[in-house]
Amino acid sequence: MTRHFRFCCFLAIVLLLTSCTEKRYRLPLSVRRQEVKVVRYDKEFFETGSIDDRTFRRIYEENILQVGSVDDEQSQAFLRIFRNDSDMCNVYRDCQEIFDAEYQKKFEKQISKAFTRLCFFVEDMPLPQVSFHISGFSQSVVSAPSNLSLALDKFLGSDYPMYEDLFYDYQLPRMSPQRMAADAMNGWIRSEFSEDGLLTSQRVLDYLVYEGKILFLLHKVMPKEPFEHLAGWTYDQLQWCMSNEVNMWERVNAYEQLYMTDHLIRQKYFGEQPSTVYFTEDSPGRAIIWVGYQMVARYMSAHPQVSLLQLMMESDSDTILTESGYHP
C-alpha cells in the first residue's frame, strides 16, 4: 500500500510538472490572430509576363532566377524564353491543378495559425508577405526582408515525372504539397534567427544546439504538424533517430568531435545527404539534429522561466548542454 501510494505521488508530481511546462506554450483566447493571404506571383508572371510588385520582381529576377538586373534587355529576353518554354508551361499548368483555390485556402489557414503562434512567442516578429512563384526547380523557400515565397514547382509530389532526372531519391519525400507549410516556417525562422547572428563559434556542439533550437521552436509553432515534416525526414527515418539517440550521442563522443571546428566534419553531420556517414547507412541525413532537439527540450524543461525568445537568443551552447543535464 505504501509503495503504491508513493508511486501515485511520484506520478502526480511528474504530470503536474509536465502540465506546468506545457502551459507556457498555450495561447490565450485573447491572442491577436494573424491572417495570411497568399500572393500568386506564379499566375501573374505566367499569365502577364511580368510582376508589378517591383520589390518581389527584383527578388524573382535577380535572386531566384538569377537572370541579371531588372530591366536589363538580356534579362528580359531570358524571362520570355523561360515563360514560353514548353516544359515550364507544363509545370505551370500542373501547379495550377495541384495548388488550386482549395489548397491555397487550406495553406493560408495553416500558415496563419503558425504565424499567430510565432508572433505570440516572439514579440515584434515581423509578418512577411507570403507568396507563391515558379522557380525553374531552384530554391524551395526564399526568405527576404518582409517576403516569404514558396516555389510551387518544388512541391509537386515525390512521384512527379520531371523530378526523376533532376533530384536524388533521398530528396523526393520532402517535395510534396503537404510539406510546404512546414518548409515555409522553417525558412522564415532561419532567416530571423540566422547562424551568423547566433553562432559565436564553429564547433559541432554549436551547430548541434542551433539546429536543436530551430527544430524546438518550429515544433512549438506547428505543434500538430508531423514531426518528420518539421525535420525533413520520412516517418521511418524519424523512428530510426528515436531508436538510435543513445548510439548517436555515444558515437559523437567516441570520435571526440563535439568540440571540433573542422568544416568537413560539420558538413557530414549537418549537410543534406542520403545518410549520416558517421552512423549506419539506414540513418537519415542530418540525423544528429534529433540529439540537438532532445538536448534543447531537456534544457527548456529544466528552465520553465525561459521564454522561447530567450532560448533562441542564448548563444552559449555549453550552458545549454550543461544545464540540460543531457545524458541519453
**Does residue 174 form part of some domain?**
yes
Note down the domain range covering 313: 195-324
DSSP letter, residue 60: I
Domain boundary residue among 180, 210, 241?
180
Tell me the β-bridge partners of 143: 148
Q: Identify the pLDDT of residue 95.
A: 98
Q: Identify the pLDDT of residue 198.
A: 73
Q: What is the mean pLDDT of residues 170-193?
A: 97
**Does residue 157 form part of some domain?**
yes
Asked if 96 and 151 sit in the same domain, the reply is: yes
Terminal Cα distance for the chain, rounded? 32
**Does residue 15 form part of some domain?**
no
Asked if 154 and 76 sit in the same domain, the reply is: yes
In whole numbers, what is the pLDDT of the chain averaged over residues? 93
pLDDT surpasses 60 at 14: no
Cβ(274)–Cβ(168) below 8 Å:
yes
Cβ(158)–Cβ(177) below 8 Å:
no
Q: What is the mean pLDDT of residues 205-225?
A: 97
Residue 130: φ, ψ to 5°:
-105, 135
Place of cell 510588385: 53
Closest by CA position to 301, among listed 9, 50, 103, 17: 17
Confidence at 248, pLDDT banded by 50, 70, 90: very high
DSSP letter, residue 161: G
- In what helix (H) or strand (E) does residue 210 lie, and over which residues does it extend? helix 204-221
Q: Cβ contacts of residue 26 below 8 Å, gap of 6+?
A: none
Q: What is the mean pLDDT of residues 177-194?
A: 97
**Does residue 7 form part of some domain?**
no
Strands 147-151, 141-144: pairing is antiparallel
Confidence at 195, pLDDT banded by 50, 70, 90: confident
Domain boundary residue among 135, 153, 180?
180
Cβ(67)–Cβ(79) below 8 Å:
yes
**Does residue 28 form part of some domain?**
no
Per-residue pLDDT tens over the stretch 91-112: 999 999 999 999 999 999 999 9
Asked if 65 and 131 sit in the same domain, the reply is: yes
**Does residue 3 form part of some domain?**
no
Asked if 159 and 258 sit in the same domain, the reply is: no
Asked if 286 and 225 sit in the same domain, the reply is: yes
Q: Cβ contacts of residue 269 below 8 Å, gap of 6+?
A: 204, 207, 208, 257, 276, 278, 286, 288
Taking the model in full, what pTM does it have? 0.91
Asked if 206 and 96 sit in the same domain, the reply is: no
Asked if 144 and 238 sit in the same domain, the reply is: no
**Does residue 8 form part of some domain?**
no
Q: Identify the pLDDT of residue 22.
A: 76
Confidence at 28, pLDDT banded by 50, 70, 90: very high
The CA distance from 152 to 91, in Å, is 9
pLDDT surpasses 60 at 17: no
Per-residue pLDDT tens over the stretch 117-176: 999 999 999 999 999 999 999 999 999 999 999 999 999 999 999 999 999 999 999 999
Q: Identify the pLDDT of residue 163.
A: 98
AA identity, residue 273: Q
pLDDT surpasses 80 at 16: no
Asked if 131 and 201 sit in the same domain, the reply is: no
Per-residue pLDDT tens over the stretch 45-89: 999 999 999 999 999 999 999 998 887 889 999 999 999 999 999
**Does residue 25 form part of some domain?**
no
Asked if 152 and 199 sit in the same domain, the reply is: no
Q: What is the mean pLDDT of residues 293-305?
A: 97
Q: What is the mean pLDDT of residues 2-21?
A: 45
Confidence at 21, pLDDT banded by 50, 70, 90: low
Strands (E) across 175-313 are located at: none
The CA distance from 43 to 50, in Å, is 10
Strands (E) across the chain are located at: 39-40, 129-133, 141-144, 147-151
CA 36 to chain centre: 18
**Number of domains the chain is built from:** 2
Asked if 130 and 206 sit in the same domain, the reply is: no
Percent of the chain with pLDDT over 90: 88
Per-residue pLDDT tens over the stretch 261-277: 999 999 999 999 999 99
Domain boundary residue among 122, 152, 180?
180
Asked if 106 and 216 sit in the same domain, the reply is: no
Using CB atoms within 10 Å of the CB of residue 170, give its burial: 0 to 12 exposed, 13 to 18 middle, 19+ buried.
middle
DSSP letter, residue 287: T
Q: At what angle do helices 317-324 and 289-302 cross, to 10 degrees?
A: 70
Residue that wins the pLDDT comparison between 1 and 136:
136
